[in-house]
Amino acid sequence: MDTIPPRHRVHLIARHAESTLWLARYIERIENMARILDVTNTFARDADDSRNWLSIPRINGDLVEFYKKHTEATQRTVGEFYLLDETNPTSVQSFITAGRENARTLRALISTEMWLQINVFYGRLRALTAADVSPDRFTAVCAMLKAGAQAHTGITEGTLYRDQAWHFYMIGRYLERADQTTRLLDTRFHSLAPRSDTADADLAAGQWNALLRAAAGYHAYRREHPSGYTAPEVACFLLANTSFPRSVGLNLAQVEWHLTQLRARYFLRMSDALERLDHLNGTLTFANVAELASRKLSPFLDYVQREIGALHQDIVGTFAF
Amino acid sequence: MQVGDASQSQVQSQSQGTPHGTLQGYDPNSFFCEMLRPGQPQHPTLTLLLSRLAALPIASLRHRAQEAERDLLERGITFTVYSDATAIDRILPFDLIPRVITPTEWHQIETGVIQRVRALNMFLHDIYHDRKILADKIVPAELVLKNAGYCQAMVGFNVPFNTYVHVCGTDIVRDETGTFRVLEDNARTPSGVAYVVENRHMSLSVMSDLMTSLRVRGVDEYGLRLHNAMAEIAPPGVEDPQVVVLSPGIFNSAYFEHVFLAREMGVPLVEGRDLTVEAGKVWMRTTAGLAQVHTIYRRIGDDFLDPDAFNPDSMLGVRGLIEAWRRGAVAIANAVGTGVADDKAIYAYMPRIIKYYLSEEPILQNVETRICAEPDSLAYTLDHLHELVVKPVAESGGYGLLIGPHASKAQLADFRVLLKADPANYISQPTLKLSVSPTLCEDGVRPRHVDLRPFAVTGKDTWVLPGGLTRVALRPGSLVVNSSQGGGSKDTWVLA
């Protein structure tokens, strides 16, 4: 590879590398949460209201915590729990606070424009009130959250210097996207798996529709599969497809590219992570995913989630002392 | 801070013409005004600046001020104030009307600061080596050797170029005659330089029409100069020394400045936990393993630097750092043990210290200062308490001082007791009539008191950043410019 020989070696503090991973992950979580809230809000009125709203605490493994604070799942309670509740570690309030804290740690490293946008975005989120989770404001708030997270992504693309820190940042973003997509798929498979009779077909179609819309994949999926939905096809689209920006397959391929860059350009030992990734990619073939989706996908999704978590640990583990 | 008598009225001669336009009604009274500069030779740039300022509608100024405030908040140019469990990010209020320094004035400040830094470094070398100045009884030995800032670990230890104070902030005020006077030296970890540069960026963005074609000296060189000095003091034989900025972390109130310094120098911003001492050398933990560190610009107090050498409970420092430093494996700026030199009690001796080492008259005068440890001074201070400012020598940040003319009878009586109980802990100074500078206030452009903190960077030689931090007391009549007590800041324009 052609590189300009550096005047001197530019080191990256190990703690900062970990912070960049987390910064990317937290901002990505905000966007994902906004997508799920928004799409649930859109489709909830068509189906059993509380069952739909409850899918969000389920996705996040928050059922116990949610029921400690609320008795039923509605737009208002779920909205409060995820948009306003500072004590809930999976609320957008906690995400932006943690994201901003990581950005603050990295402030000497990231671009000033990245910091400025996060700081302003933080102010906007902190100013949310109960009025913002009311029916007439809900969608606008979700749009604001998505736009804020996407502005961050765009500013990062355009301004973050592409040295080691950038590679770690991108790994964080792709790991988080891969993880969120498995979670999204998991809840829908939970609710859809037992429903194979024709009476529920419309409902099922609505659910697949919502799932693909939450992942911003509805139209792309339509292009690939113009006739209806099947569980194997949706699962393959979200897990094995390597063109869809939020598919697990594409995101893991990106992680792999950044890991090999870190190894080749900065001589970082990434062997554990690359080996694990190799195994994981081997399971994400169309044939395998289609086969699993026709039977039971959940244990496989659990496995993918665990492996994504382990990948994060492998990566930060290479520079743990 | 010093106190002046605002009620005392005095007719002044205005060499720059009568204030008009936006400056209409601006009356500095008996105070020296940094913009109108009564009795000083005219400077054409200043005349032009004044006429431009006068022509700016007040509504426009207010609009610009709002823009600036929003921008500072959004960009997080803030310091953090802690109360109970909550942390609040505050901006240092920015007044958009610049404080101006003419070339002649700057020459005096620059040479005066360089002279003072030289004397401070010579003093520190002496008191940690031969102690000649103590033997010659220029400064009482007790005052130095029993000073809380005197560091035993430094005795006999040599630092590169005999430089102890690599970064010095000299607080300078101006009295009613226009005479500059040094109020105090900050020789440990002076802060505020980030605001100097950020204030300039702010001026360029909201006051560019005021600045157009004026020849104002730049402030962007600071990071480069600081890095050069840090590289100069690195252990010998290292071709491309690794410099780091050591910060207590994101919760420190001055964290923004630490970020600024690391960014401007292009070096890592580290915390104690990122550093380790192994095999007698200092290393930082990087993604690729341990990498050697050669110079540490630390923004952590002496006590917290190394739990082995100082405060054993410190979580912020690096175990074994001082030992590695003593063995010459790393450079630390500022050196440990400089606190003795910027102590308010030593300050009183600075004019004599300058004469002793340099055989020169001080270019910048002190404020007339009485050391209450001396019986005559104590008697004078007690007799004139109502007209003096009395300061505890070990405090900083404007706390615990008595401003005689503003104190009630009861407060004066209480303070008298404190002073008699421990006279060695106090110095007294006359109330100064601090100079003022036009400032945007609720009722228009009004005079507000200002001071100046230029920053001097010393490796082999000393360089002074043209300008410095101008702090302004925003409340009417107030002389307290400290950011912790409601002060703001201005951009400082040194004319070329």
A66 has a chain B CB within 8 A of its CB: no
Strands B487-494 and B94-101: parallel
What pLDDT was estimated at residue B85? 63
- CA-based nearest distance B59→chain A, Å: 26
Q: Which of residues 65-84 of B touch A (CB under 8 A)?
A: 74-76
Report the SS3 class of residue B298. strand
- CA-based nearest distance A120→chain B, Å: 6
A104 has a chain B CB within 8 A of its CB: yes
Residue among A79, A46, A56, A39 at smallest CA distance from A190: A56
Task: State which amino acid sits at residue B177.
Answer: T
Q: What is the C-alpha to C-alpha distance for residues A261 and B357, in angstroms, rounded to an integer?
A: 58
pLDDT of B82 higher than 70? no
Q: Which residues of chain A lie closer than 8 angstroms to B255, CB-CB?
A: 104
Q: Answer yes or no: do B288 and A319 touch at CB < 8 A.
A: yes
Q: Which residues of chain A lie closer than 8 angstroms to B197, CB-CB?
A: none
Q: Which residues of chain B lie closer than 8 angstroms to A20, CB-CB?
A: none
A127 has a chain B CB within 8 A of its CB: no
Interface test with B, best of A8, A9, A13, A115 (most B CBs within 10 A): A13
Q: Answer yes or no: do A108 and B262 touch at CB < 8 A.
A: yes
A175: Cβ contacts below 8 Å, ≥ 6 apart: A21, A25, A251, A255, A308, A311, A312
Neighbours of A29 (CB within 10 A): 23
pLDDT of B203 higher than 70? yes
B375 has a chain A CB within 8 A of its CB: no
Contact A14, A321 (CB under 8 A): yes
Q: Which residues of chain B lie closer than 8 angstroms to A9, CB-CB?
A: 291
- CA-based nearest distance B275→chain A, Å: 10
User: pLDDT higher for B486 or B293?
Assistant: B293
pLDDT of B6 higher than 50? no
Q: What is the C-alpha to C-alpha distance for residues A117 and A122, in angstroms, rounded to an integer?
A: 8
Residue among B343, B326, B342 at smallest CA distance from B394: B343
Say whether domain B368-430 belongs to CATH 1.10.645.10: no
B460 has a chain A CB within 8 A of its CB: no
Q: What is the C-alpha to C-alpha distance for residues B341 and B354, in angstroms, rounded to an integer?
A: 12
| Residue B75: its H or E element | helix B58-75
The percent of residues above 90 in pLDDT, for chain A, comes to 73
- The mean pLDDT value of chain B amounts to 90
- The mean pLDDT value of chain A amounts to 90
- CA-based nearest distance B261→chain A, Å: 8
When pLDDT is cut at 50, 70 and 90, the band that residue B313 belongs to is confident
Q: Which of residues 11-30 of B touch A (CB under 8 A)?
A: none
Q: Which of residues 262-281 of B touch A (CB under 8 A)?
A: 262-263, 268-271, 273-274, 276
Q: CA geometry: angle at B434 spanning B429 and B436, to 5°?
A: 170
Q: Which CA distances in Å does B378 have to B262, B393, B421, B477?
A: 46, 14, 11, 29
The percent of residues above 70 in pLDDT, for chain B, comes to 93
Ranges assigned E (strand) in B160-205: 167-174, 180-186
Q: ipTM of this predicted complex? A: 0.91
Q: What is the C-alpha to C-alpha distance for residues A303 and A296, in angstroms, rounded to an integer?
A: 13
What pLDDT was estimated at residue A266? 92
Contact B81, B90 (CB under 8 A): yes
pLDDT of B460 higher than 50? yes
Out of B245, B250, B287, whose CB is closest to A164? B287
Q: What is the pLDDT of residues B18-33, one digit of tens each?
A: 677 899 889 998 999 9
Question: Domain B236-329: which CATH class?
Answer: alpha beta
Out of B259, B271, B284, whose CB is closest to A11? B284
Range(s) of chain B covered by CATH 3.30.1490.270: 368-430
pLDDT of B398 higher than 60? no
B455 has a chain A CB within 8 A of its CB: no
For the ranges A192-201, A297-306, B108-117, B413-422, the one whose mean pLDDT is highest: B108-117
Q: What is the C-alpha to C-alpha distance for residues B277 and B293, in angstroms, rounded to an integer?
A: 10
Q: Which residues of chain A lie closer than 8 angstroms to B276, CB-CB?
A: 321
Looking at residue B384, the DSSP 8-state letter turns out to be T
State how far Cα A136 lies from the chain centre: 26
Terminus-to-terminus CA distance in chain A, angstroms?
Answer: 30
What pLDDT was estimated at residue B335? 97
Q: What is the pLDDT of residues A245-303, one digit of tens each?
A: 999 999 999 999 999 999 999 999 899 999 999 999 999 999 999 999 888 888 999 99
Interface test with A, best of B259, B286, B296, B318 (most A CBs within 10 A): B286
Q: Answer yes or no: do B274 and A104 touch at CB < 8 A.
A: no
Q: Which residues of chain A lie closer than 8 angstroms to B269, CB-CB?
A: 107-109
Contact B88, B467 (CB under 8 A): no
pLDDT of A192 higher than 60? no
pLDDT of B14 higher than 70? no
Q: What is the C-alpha to C-alpha distance for residues B272 and B316, in angstroms, rounded to an integer?
A: 5
What pLDDT was estimated at residue B479? 78
A7 has a chain B CB within 8 A of its CB: yes
When pLDDT is cut at 50, 70 and 90, the band that residue B199 belongs to is very high
Q: Answer yes or no: do B74 and A17 touch at CB < 8 A.
A: no
Residue count of chain B: 496
Range(s) of chain B covered by CATH 3.40.50.11290: 236-329
Q: Worst-scoring range by mean pLDDT, A98-112, A175-189, B124-138, B392-406? A: B392-406
Q: Which residues of chain A lie closer than 8 angstroms to B223, CB-CB?
A: none
Q: Is B213 left (phi over 0), alpha (psi -120 to 50) or beta?
A: left
A310 has a chain B CB within 8 A of its CB: no
Phi, psi of A120 (to 5 degrees): -70, -45
Neighbours of A228 (CB within 10 A): 9
When pLDDT is cut at 50, 70 and 90, the band that residue A50 belongs to is confident
pLDDT of A205 higher than 90? no
Residue among A14, A28, A321, A1 at smallest CA distance from A171: A28
B289 has a chain A CB within 8 A of its CB: yes
pLDDT of B456 higher than 60? yes
Tokens found for residue B6: 């605002």
Per-residue b/e over B161-184, b at no fewer than 16 CB within 10 Å? eebbbbbbbbbbbbbbeeebbbbb
Q: pTM for this one?
A: 0.91
Mean pLDDT calculated for residue range B168-182: 96
Closest-CA residue in chain A for B259?
A108
- CA-based nearest distance A311→chain B, Å: 16
pLDDT of B181 higher than 60? yes
A108 has a chain B CB within 8 A of its CB: yes
pLDDT of B397 higher than 90? no
A101 has a chain B CB within 8 A of its CB: yes
pLDDT of B223 higher than 70? yes
Mind giving me the DSSP string for A25-54? HHHHHHHHHHHHHHHHHHHHTTS-HHHHHH
B297 has a chain A CB within 8 A of its CB: no
Residue among B376, B313, B381, B369 at smallest CA distance from B343: B369
Place of tokens 């003593």: B326
Q: Which CA distances in Å does A162 have to A10, A156, A169, A268, B49?
A: 12, 10, 10, 16, 43
Compute the radius of gyration of chain A from its Cα atoms: 20
What pLDDT was estimated at residue B174? 95
Tokens found for residue B16: 């720059």
Q: What is the pLDDT of residues B211-220, one digit of tens each?
A: 998 999 999 9
B250 has a chain A CB within 8 A of its CB: yes
Interface test with A, best of B88, B251, B287 (most A CBs within 10 A): B287
Question: Residue B485, class by beta-carbon neighbours within 10 Å (0-12 exposed, 13-18 middle, 19+ buried)?
Answer: middle
Q: What is the pLDDT of residues B354-378, one digit of tens each?
A: 999 999 999 999 999 998 988 999 9
Q: Which residues of chain B lie closer than 8 angstroms to A267, CB-CB?
A: 288
Q: What is the C-alpha to C-alpha distance for residues B360 and B366, in angstroms, rounded to an integer?
A: 15
Phi, psi of A35 (to 5 degrees): -60, -45
pLDDT of A4 higher than 80? no
B455: Cβ contacts below 8 Å, ≥ 6 apart: B167, B168, B169, B190, B192, B193, B196, B222, B464, B465, B468, B469
Q: Worst-scoring range by mean pLDDT, B3-7, B138-142, B304-308, B328-332? A: B3-7
What pLDDT was estimated at residue B15? 42
Q: CA geometry: angle at B152 spanning B147 and B158, to 5°?
A: 115
Mean pLDDT calculated for residue range B248-266: 94
The percent of residues above 90 in pLDDT, for chain B, comes to 73
B478: Cβ contacts below 8 Å, ≥ 6 apart: B448, B449, B486
What pLDDT was estimated at residue B79? 75
